[in-house]
Chains A and B, each alone.
Chain A
Amino acid sequence: MAIDMQPDAQMRWQRYQPGVNDFALMVATKNGSGSQTSNVVLIRSLFKMGIPVSGKNLFPSNIKGLPTWYTIRASKDGYTARRATTEVAVAFNQDTITEDIANIPHGGVLIANKDLKYRVNRPDITVYEVPVKDIMSRGEFPKDFADRIANMVYVGVCCHLFGIPLDIAYEALLDQFNRKEKPARMNFSAIQLSYDWAKEYLEKRDSFRFEPMNKTQGKILIEGNDAAALGALFGGVTFVAWYPITPSTSLVDNILNHLNLRKDGDGKNTVAIVQAEDELAAVGMIIGAGWAGARSMTATSGPGVSLMAEFTGLAYFAEIPTVIWDVTRMGPSTGLPTRTSQGDLLFLYTLSHGDTRHIVLLPSNAEECFEFGWKALDIAEQMQTPVFVMSDLDIGMNVWLSNPFQYPDTPINHGKTLNKEQLEAFLQEKGEWFRYRDYDADGVGYRTVPGTEHPGAAYFTRGTGHNDMAIYSERREDWLQNMQRLRNKFDTARHVVPGPVMRMSSESGEAEAIGIISFGSNDPAVHEAIEHMAAEGITADYMRIRALPFSQQVWDFIEAHDRVYVIENNFDGQLCQILRMESPLSRSNLVSLTLGDTLPMTALWIHQQIVQHEEVP
């Protein structure tokens, strides 16, 4: 099956029916055929028409040849979650055309490449057949590019069928080619040819269409990994080490793309980027750099995090700031490298042997990828510990409609890092300085970095047992005191990390019977589901968790609701497990709703799950 329809995805409810500016289009092509450019041109065109749009690339772990599906959703209401159904199928891949046709919902549209071999026995759908070769033969295209440019044929046909003005498509092309006219013109000539052909030979027989709106003004279109890269660069990252792994690779690629933001007056870089030999080395490097006073980070995915486990424990215990982005994909093991998942939550939270607990930030969208991109670096230095940021493939590699990013509203925070003068003042005031002594009763000590020109600045960093003077110790009192302080530090972190975001149904803020807890990329689907459910009379409050560890607000929310659905895109219900593990509440009212089916969550799935549970007596 091409696009895996989630269970029971028929048009059960009116609110999920498609309409003008409210349907999804799916493009099926071969990976590596160059169709991505065409898809982005379609998305950009809708964006320029003022229609809220989102794109999801369901691609294989492959460079060339395997099938790939790209879904584009227009939503007049601004919903950006994956739509459960794709009403229009552009079937341009011989390998999948039969199943692509079979998957079109009742009332849908097929745009088929007539050059392929297929049979359509679907009287319930509208079929348009496009002779791609014939259309392309009407123009003159350089041989090397002809195959790629052929993908513009479906763009031209869609422009005609669904009402995308050609001048807008051209503008989108210009954007795509960085305002370079030559490639834009060459591609546009194919769009024009196919548009003209469609106008002459295709009679519009379906009701799907786009109409200009004004709902994207002031918005941007950006991928989460790009946003995260910008966040890090505006957050003053000075050292990046990494090892390529899908779906995190484009995060570091984008740091490199934006390196011009971080040049000094002589054109030299104020951030070092080192491609390591593996993730063991990548994390070792960022820990070494963080220890030496750099603001350091890496980006990886699950298998890379596995390799980083030992080193993460060292940084936790030796209290070294660094930031690790985990752009998650399907595990366990190699799993599905190009499919999305929220399966690393539990692992990140307790990564490494012994009693470890880590701060994990959970961005939901591009805006938060930017915000947490800079904030994570501050929190790491403030708390003197590794900070994880868990994004996922859906957020990271798909293009999102977003508000423009807000400039950091707080200055760069280096936490309790003493330079030469500050150390001197500290010694004058306290008469001593010991690295791990809890002077402020918040669990966070004062640190110096190597290269501090003061005879008292040095201390010995180690992963072995140590007392608060950073001296090796096997005494049980020292061990317990240290662990207790680390626990206190973790409690301090509860107030430092981004707190949950609430959506209360009643204007007075009074709690409904139903509560929903979720996080990360599920957010757009949860909002959409809440609005659709409300229209049916099912009202629910929603709390989106934005970080681990939890704050008191989380327990207050759970306590205030009769039933709390914990919605997540993994198989085991990992957030729910952490909630159950840590809950101070006596009653158990958590209901774990888990998906973990390789695809981004849809509102319909959430809606169906909750209705099903609510209907059970």
Chain B
Amino acid sequence: MPNALGLERTDYKGATSTLCPGCGHDSISNQIISAAYDSDLPMWRVIKLSGIGCSSKTPAYFLKGSHGFNSVHGRMPSVATGATIANHDLIAIAVSGDGDTGSIGFGQFKHLIRRNVHMVYIVENNGVYGLTKGQFSATADEGQFLKYYGKNDLPPIDLCLEAIIGGATFVARSFSGDAKQVQTLLKAALRHRGTAVLDIISPCVTFNNSPDSTKSYPYGKENEIPLHEIELMAAGYVAAKQEITIPEYPAELVIEVEMHDGTFVRLKKLGEGHDPRNRAEAITLLERASRENLLLTGLIYYEEPRPTIGDTLSLTATPLARLEDSQIRPSREALDALMKQYM
């Protein structure tokens, strides 16, 4: 069935994946395709960005109608910063990995968030270097064993925690085996203004998929604890506010967040619940998850958008890349007047 732009879901596909069969990354690519199709995303406005690694190959595998840029290892954030400032009409979707983001590009990741570059930043996190055949990444479990590299003695970096501390206003964790949640979080992230970080546990079926690894399919399927059920409500949806009418969910367990485009993310809390609008609570939650080895998924942290780097630069309304020549070359008279000042 065509979407509002008259496009079928297959139109949003890309080239055939060359990743290992069963790779978690491919299911994320699939959800990006679905989210873009469902959201009526105009592909010509989308840019797909990545660094280097298995995850960074995936932008070739979705949204063939969008410009893509497979850049250098860990330094995609700076490319995204330049591209989105050059043209603020662009919708940026970036894919990175745990090596790309957690190690070589850690500094750029933090500064991207600090600048609040308007984009969706997906980390396909599998705790291992795939393309170089199985070294531990900085998000690997402490004490974990891998075939060639033995025991990992170092504690993992929690990318969601780093994102929150760095000032991100939309931080989510998900599991590539939880297709529905991944897709809904992607749709919500696409509607957020500023950097939306999605740390998606995405198992590497070749190098890190034994059940004792928290980045494996068996572990995720067995242990994922969704914090809430997530729904995206269309624009025009009247937020329930206090007058909640869904009988099976008591009012205090439903949280609604209005996104930048007027849609709402509705979170029906599960279990003991978590309010993503509370920064301290989000940090405490992540620290507990790390301590107790819990795979907590969902929208971990959300706050009202703050100015993006583009907003702070006091730029002209037309995207810089589309300015007419007459708007970017000062006049002959301006040069003559200047020269007199130097005489």
Residues of A within 8 A of B (CB): 218-222, 230, 233-239, 241, 258, 261-262, 264, 266, 268-274, 276-278, 280-296, 310-311, 314, 318, 404-405, 407-408, 411-412, 448-455, 457-464, 471-472
Bitwise, B253-280 to A at CB < 8 A (1) or not (0) is: 0000000000000000000000000000
Q: Are B321 and A463 in contact (CB under 8 A)?
A: no
Residues of chain B within 8 A of A457, CB atoms compared? 44, 67
Partner of A277, one of B82, B107, B309, B329: B107
Q: Are B81 and A459 in contact (CB under 8 A)?
A: no
Q: Are B87 and A461 in contact (CB under 8 A)?
A: no
Q: Are A272 and B85 in contact (CB under 8 A)?
A: yes
Stretch at the interface among B58-66, B180-188, B220-228: B58-66
Given A274-B313, A461-B68, check contact A450 B47 (CB 8 Å): yes
Bitwise, B234-251 to A at CB < 8 A (1) or not (0) is: 000000000000000000
Q: Are B82 and A287 in contact (CB under 8 A)?
A: yes
Q: Are A404 and B67 in contact (CB under 8 A)?
A: no
Partner of A310, one of B72, B81, B107, B342: B72
Q: A263's closest neighbor in chain B, by CB?
A: B316
Q: A237's closest neighbor in chain B, by CB?
A: B328
Q: Are B325 and A239 in contact (CB under 8 A)?
A: no
- B315 at the binding interface (Cβ < 8 Å): yes
Partner of A284, one of B82, B322, B342: B82
- B1 at the binding interface (Cβ < 8 Å): no
5 A-B pairs with least C-beta separation: A284-B78, A288-B82, A293-B321, A288-B79, A289-B82
Q: Are A264 and B316 in contact (CB under 8 A)?
A: yes
Given A450-B87, A455-B65, A461-B70, 18 other A-B residues pairs in contact with their CB atoms under 8 A? A239-B82, A264-B327, A270-B320, A274-B81, A276-B111, A284-B81, A288-B79, A289-B321, A292-B47, A294-B82, A404-B342, A448-B67, A453-B45, A458-B67, A460-B60, A460-B67, A461-B67, A462-B70
Residues of chain B within 8 A of A471, CB atoms compared? 15
Residues of chain A within 8 A of B328, CB atoms compared? 236-238, 262, 270-271, 295, 412
Partner of A451, one of B69, B319, B342: B319
Q: Are A236 and B335 in contact (CB under 8 A)?
A: no
Given A277-B108, A291-B79, check contact A412 B329 (CB 8 Å): yes
- B71 at the binding interface (Cβ < 8 Å): yes
Residues of chain A within 8 A of B322, CB atoms compared? 293, 451
Bound state CA distance, A293 and B45, in angstroms? 13
Partner of A218, one of B45, B111, B309, B343: B343
Residues of chain A within 8 A of B321, CB atoms compared? 238, 289, 292-294, 449, 451
Residues of chain B within 8 A of A454, CB atoms compared? 44
- B146 at the binding interface (Cβ < 8 Å): no
Bound state CA distance, A24 and B322, in angstroms? 51
Partner of A274, one of B85, B107, B325: B85
Residues of chain A within 8 A of B320, CB atoms compared? 238-239, 270-272, 289, 294
Q: Are B82 and A296 in contact (CB under 8 A)?
A: yes
Q: Are B108 and A284 in contact (CB under 8 A)?
A: yes
Given A411-B325, A450-B67, A463-B72, check contact A272 B315 (CB 8 Å): yes
Residues of chain A within 8 A of B68, CB atoms compared? 458-462
Q: Are A235 and B329 in contact (CB under 8 A)?
A: yes
Partner of A292, one of B42, B60, B75, B90: B90
Bound state CA distance, A282 and B329, in angstroms? 24
Which of A291, A292, A295 neighbours the largest number of chain B CB atoms within 10 Å of its CB? A292
Residues of chain A within 8 A of B44, CB atoms compared? 451-455, 457-458
| Min CB gap B227→A, angstroms | 33
Residues of chain B within 8 A of A411, CB atoms compared? 325
Residues of chain B within 8 A of A450, CB atoms compared? 47, 66-67, 83, 87, 90
Q: Are A405 and B339 in contact (CB under 8 A)?
A: yes
Which of B72, B111, B310 neighbours the largest number of chain A CB atoms within 10 Å of its CB? B72
- B332 at the binding interface (Cβ < 8 Å): yes
Partner of B86, one of A269, A283, A288, A314: A288
Q: Are A296 and B86 in contact (CB under 8 A)?
A: yes
Bitwise, B129-142 to A at CB < 8 A (1) or not (0) is: 00000000000000
16 contacts between A and B (CB under 8 A): A262-B328, A264-B316, A268-B314, A269-B313, A284-B78, A284-B108, A285-B81, A288-B69, A288-B82, A290-B86, A292-B47, A294-B321, A311-B75, A460-B69, A463-B71, A464-B70
Bound state CA distance, A295 and B323, in angstroms? 10
Q: Which of B82-135 contact A (CB under 8 A)?
A: 82-87, 89-90, 107-108, 111
| Min CB gap A215→B, angstroms | 14
Residues of chain A within 8 A of B334, CB atoms compared? 261
Q: Which of B300-317 contact A (CB under 8 A)?
A: 309-310, 313-317
| Min CB gap A375→B, angstroms | 13
- B80 at the binding interface (Cβ < 8 Å): yes
Q: Are A278 and B329 in contact (CB under 8 A)?
A: no
Given A220-B339, A285-B78, A405-B335, check contact A239 B315 (CB 8 Å): no
Residues of chain B within 8 A of A258, CB atoms compared? 338
Residues of chain A within 8 A of B330, CB atoms compared? 233-234, 261-262
Q: Are B75 and A404 in contact (CB under 8 A)?
A: no
- B233 at the binding interface (Cβ < 8 Å): no
Q: Are A404 and B107 in contact (CB under 8 A)?
A: no
Bound state CA distance, A362 and B342, in angstroms? 24
Q: Are A288 and B78 in contact (CB under 8 A)?
A: yes
- B43 at the binding interface (Cβ < 8 Å): yes
Residues of chain A within 8 A of B42, CB atoms compared? 453
Residues of chain B within 8 A of A310, CB atoms compared? 72, 75
Residues of chain A within 8 A of B329, CB atoms compared? 234-236, 408, 412
Bound state CA distance, A261 and B327, in angstroms? 10
Q: A454's closest neighbor in chain B, by CB?
A: B44
| Min CB gap B330→A, angstroms | 5
Bound state CA distance, A411 and B329, in angstroms? 9
Residues of chain B within 8 A of A296, CB atoms compared? 82, 86
Which of A239, A271, A458 neighbours the largest number of chain B CB atoms within 10 Å of its CB? A458
Partner of A289, one of B45, B77, B86, B107: B86
